Amino acid sequence: MKNSILSIFLLLSFNTFADLGVSEDFVERFSSLPSYTNVKISPDGRMISVLTKMPDDKKGISIFDAEDLSLINAITLTKEEEVASYYWVNNERLLIQIGYYDSWGRGSIGEYFAINYDSKKPAYVFGMRARTSGARGKVVDKFSYGYVENILEDDEKHVLLSVSVFGKQNNGGFADAIRLNVYNGQQKRLGKSPLAGGQFVSDSSGTPRFAVGSDIDNNTVTMYRASKKDEWQVLSKTPYGDGEIYPVNIAKDDSTIHIVDSTETSTYQIKEIDTKTGETQVVFHHPEYDAYPQIIDDKVFGATINPGYAKAYWFENDDPLQNSIMQAVQAFNGNIEVFDKKEIGLVDLSKNRDKLIIAVGDSASSSKYYLYDLKKNQVKYLLTMWPEIDDQGLEHEVPFNFINSDGVKIHGYYTPAKNQQEGQSAPMIVIPHGGPHARDSWGFDPDTHIFSQAGYAVLKVNFRGSTGYGKDFTQMGFGEWGGDTQQDIIEATEWAINQGIADAERIGIYGGSFGGYSAAMAPMLRPDLYKSSVAYIGVFDLEMLYDEGDIKTIKWGGKYLDKTLGQDPAKIKAMSPVQQADKLEAPIIIVSGKEDQRAPIEHAYALADALEEAGKEHELIIVEKEGHGFRKPENRLMLYKKMLEHFNRTVLK
């Protein structure tokens, strides 16, 4: 049987592929990472900034004049460093999270560098390269990770960091609230999270007011205090999956607080709390889908749910900013309620709220960014996130739902194959999402278009256990990784066949992470249905999750696994693909990153060994210096080419 292990030095010279069904140039462009992300506007509205993929493939910041879009400056970091993210602190000062991009891939260890937009006054202000941990003005250990929790909009010299000592973020460390001077790096502690391993949410002054996290028993805990002088109180404490409370906004004048709450209902309720009287009122609730508030400047403009296309519920506010946003939505989408043509998002806005950055995208094109000048009532195109793949004629994604054999409504999305006509069936690739407690949403996805343009319809399924449909739906996936969850994927595949979308004799399956698990498990449960598989960065021995990888290192990791996998050893074993290898008939490629900590390569080796023993056709690809998801374009290109060659050989035969 075919069992080859390829490492990175082989992949770089491995370029002999069969016909891909689509041009290699197309695949290469769709393997790239976006050229432009994280578009922002300076507080005074004079400059537009964007995180830019530079010629060396590292990310830097490009800064443009908002009036004529002329380039003002480009900021890059040295050697193997790049810009991971950035923030405007005032009209001149940028705070940059330092990232690294080297032979091992991309990442960040929470260091910060500050610089003016014109490259003046550079300063390393936070991180392990600080001169000494006990230096004057330093109050936390320099071997700490920081992330920006609050930009402190009315403070032009400081931001608020949430800081955790390396190795303790998930293991009992208490996050510090640190006010950081972006000119000299001086620090002042403004508080500490009362939850070990938890994070805090601060008010406009930078005072931690909420703390959210999980305790050692994997209970979701939310704590609150009325002011920095008050004691912390437990607002909610619920077993994982049984509902939670999350803060979403604390008014600048501290008069109201908005939260989302699923402790009393299956789906999120949006609630408003009057901090003076303690009175709580439900602002919005939908009985079937989780609701998410749309808040600007302490005002709830509306709520959105996501049954397929996102749907907006606008509240009656006599507010010029809300009216302008609704006008933009109408102009781009054709209506203000169902986002069935375009996704419109407010990305950033100037301090006096007269200029907005909006993103407009759909399922067949990446986001385009626009500057909306409210005073002039004028919209100006800025740039496209992924200009390399701004192709015309790509197929649009279509939401669907059906009632499964247990009477449960299952949602998902399908994309027709290129030039597929109504009533015409096509080969199909099923792509289960990761998580499993996550979801697919309508939008642009390069994976989808690579397969679609190569002649395959694409199916995505929000199986039981997915989020967005309430906690009851999520709980249905607990203990059912290899049971009801896979049954939903299988029945969605059958739905597509019955609808005439998919050719029953030409079905493949591919997924990453939990999707990689499903790409191995579903064909073992239904060898007659799936003709081919690619299992990418997946877990294949569920018992191994307790002993290998990073989940076991988290203080509540074992309890999380007990809840999501269940506690029946025989069932956990039976749900493991390594125990079902003899049932697989589909040729399978197993792909893993050698540095993967979430799904360690031991899983890939274990499945390959089991398939070898069972005499099943398989190929094992281990890529060095990659982790849980490939970050290097050349490795992504290799993966896409290998998948297309594999599916073309095994599905289209």
- Is the pLDDT assigned to residue 559 strictly greater than 90? no
- Is the pLDDT assigned to residue 503 strictly greater than 70? yes
In angstroms, the CA 112 to CA 130 distance is: 10
**DSSP bridge partners of 29:** none
Q: Identify the band that residue 15 occupies on the pLDDT scale cut at 50, 70 and 90.
A: very low
Find where tokens 């490259």 sit: 119
Q: Identify the band that residue 2 occupies on the pLDDT scale cut at 50, 70 and 90.
A: very low
Give the least confident one: 55-59, 505-509, 583-587.
55-59
- Tell me, rounded to whole angstroms, the distance of Cα 89 from its chain centroid: 25
CATH number where 644 lies: 3.40.50.1820
Length of the chain: 653
pLDDT at 17: 46
- Please enumerate in sequence order all residues whose Cβ is within 8 A of that of 521, keeping only pairs 6 or more positions apart, or say none: 481, 482, 486, 575, 577, 580
pLDDT at 133: 43
- Highest mean pLDDT out of 97-111, 235-249, 523-537: 523-537
In angstroms, the CA 88 to CA 153 distance is: 9
- Tell me, rounded to whole angstroms, the distance of Cα 425 from its chain centroid: 32
State pTM to two decimals: 0.92
Q: How many domains does the chain have?
A: 1
Residue 39 lies in a domain: no
- Is the pLDDT assigned to residue 389 strictly greater than 90? no
Residue 21 lies in a domain: yes
Determine the average pLDDT of the residues in 170-195: 88
Residue 120 lies in a domain: no
pLDDT at 196: 82
Q: Identify the band that residue 213 occupies on the pLDDT scale cut at 50, 70 and 90.
A: confident
Q: What is the 3-state secondary structure (H, E, C) of 430-479?
A: ECCCCCCCCCCCCCCCHHHHHHHHCCCEEEEEECCCCCCCCHHHHHCCCC
Give residue 413's domain range: 5-29+391-650
Beta strands in 103-255 (DSSP E): 105-116, 123-126, 144-150, 158-165, 176-181, 187-192, 199-202, 208-214, 219-224, 233-239, 245-250
pLDDT at 546: 87
Beta strands 123-126 and 105-116: pairing type? Answer: antiparallel
Structure tokens belonging to residue 465: 């256990």
pLDDT at 105: 65
Residue 538 lies in a domain: yes
pLDDT at 355: 96
- Is the pLDDT assigned to residue 606 strictly greater than 60? yes
pLDDT at 476: 97
Return the H-helix or E-strand segment holding 257. Answer: strand 256-261
In angstroms, the CA 557 to CA 212 distance is: 17
Q: Identify the band that residue 134 occupies on the pLDDT scale cut at 50, 70 and 90.
A: very low
- Is the pLDDT assigned to residue 543 strictly greater than 90? yes
- Is the pLDDT assigned to residue 480 strictly greater than 60? yes
Beta strands 502-512 and 532-536: pairing type? Answer: parallel
Determine the average pLDDT of the residues in 259-273: 96
CB 486 within 8 A of CB 522: yes
In angstroms, the CA 249 to CA 251 distance is: 6
In angstroms, the CA 60 to CA 71 distance is: 14
Residue 597 lies in a domain: yes
pLDDT at 547: 85
- Is the pLDDT assigned to residue 7 strictly greater than 60? no
- For CA atoms 99, 100, 105, 108, the dihedral sign is negative
Determine the average pLDDT of the residues in 86-106: 89
CB 534 within 8 A of CB 517: no
Residue 84 lies in a domain: no
CB 466 within 8 A of CB 438: yes
- Is the pLDDT assigned to residue 142 strictly greater than 80? no
Q: Identify the band that residue 104 occupies on the pLDDT scale cut at 50, 70 and 90.
A: low
**pLDDT averaged over every residue in the chain:** 91
What percent of the chain has a predicted confidence (pLDDT) above 90? 75
Rg (CA), the chain: 25
- Is the pLDDT assigned to residue 526 strictly greater than 50? yes
What percent of the chain has a predicted confidence (pLDDT) above 70? 95
Note the pLDDT tens digit of each residue in 414-451: 999 999 998 899 999 999 999 999 999 999 999 999 99
pLDDT at 173: 75
Find where tokens 């009632």 sit: 403
Residue 416 lies in a domain: yes
